[in-house]
Amino acid sequence: MNIEEIYKKFDKIGCLTFATIDNGFPQTRIAHLFACDHEGLYFRTTITKAFYEQLKTTQMLSICGIFPATSASHDEEGMPYFPPGYTIRATGDIKEIPLKTIKEKAVVNEDFMVCVKDIEKYPATVAFCLHSAWGEVFDFDFEMEHRSHKLLRTGFCFGGKQIPLRVLRITDECIACGECQEGCSFKAIDQVDEQFVIDTEKCDVCGDCYTVCPSNAIEIIINPPEDQPPG
Ligand code: SF4
Ligand code: SF4
């Protein structure tokens, strides 16, 4: 996915959760992006807010949202129902963007004008750019109304970030009993000849196969293990 496609996914949602760290504690608030360009995704706040201090201190941000429904209805058995849609998240590094730069960008991209007008109207407003990030679109159809699997996960990254990996993999210990495939409600396990393989784009990492496997043949792969959070 390119940055315009990523921005459109976020913009379609509108109000997003913006997460920061404040002295080691997670903090969230609802905000939105106002533009994107080749350098990243743009948002704004004011210099008087705790949000601003957290951004300046950590230089990091995580955002996420869901489309189209933000609440679940329930079926006759009380189980939640989400109409097919997607969640999207991105985590990475931010930097403050001077008003002069925002004005220059507004000459070629009118989306930036909203920020120019905002700063002129509310002088404490400042713009930031999420310039280096990784993320994922988690396209879901939990009742399999339109396809034969529940999930389609698409990772993305920009600005030099790598996508951290956390997947399950079937190892050589597999005895081909098929229990994992039978129990996978996400329909994420394929059989090719005698080999069972997990399709990571369809896998929820729910762990059902991991717990039922009689041979302990399913392992969790995390890469890189320490310097980035797992997906
Ligand atoms: S449950 Fe374990 S042993 Fe059986 S097919 Fe799956 S991975 Fe192989
Ligand atoms: S972790 Fe869950 S979704 Fe993924 S292959 Fe195993 S049972 Fe299926």
pLDDT the model gives residue 149? 96
Mutation choice for ligand 1 from 169, 173, 179, 216, CB with most ligand atoms inside 8 A = 179
CATH entry 3.30.70.20 includes domain 168-223: yes
Question: Has residue 227 got a pLDDT over 90?
Answer: no
pLDDT the model gives residue 193? 87
Question: What gap in Å lies between CA 180 and CA 188, rounded to an integer?
Answer: 10
Q: Domain spanning 3-163 has what CATH number?
A: 2.30.110.10
pLDDT in tens, 199-226: 999 999 999 999 999 999 999 998 754 4
Does the fold of domain 168-223 match that of domain 3-163? no
67 alpha carbon – ligand 2 mean position (Å): 23
146 alpha carbon – ligand 1 mean position (Å): 28
Per-residue pLDDT band for 231 (boundaries 50, 70, 90) equals: very low
What mean pLDDT, rounded, does the chain reach?
94
User: Whose C-alpha lies nearest to ligand 1, atom 8?
Assistant: 174
Tell whether ligand 1 has an atom less than 6 A from the beta carbon of residue 188: no
Q: Where are the domains of the chain?
A: 3-163, 168-223
Tell whether ligand 1 has an atom less than 6 A from the beta carbon of residue 197: no
Q: List phi, psi (to 5°) of 121.
A: -80, -40
List, as one string, the DSSP characters of 75-125.
-TTS-EE--SEEEEEEEEEEEEE-HHHHHHHHHH-GGGHHHHHHHHHSTTE
pLDDT in tens, 175-204: 999 999 999 999 999 999 889 999 999 999
pLDDT the model gives residue 230? 47
Tell whether ligand 1 has an atom less than 6 A from the beta carbon of residue 210: no
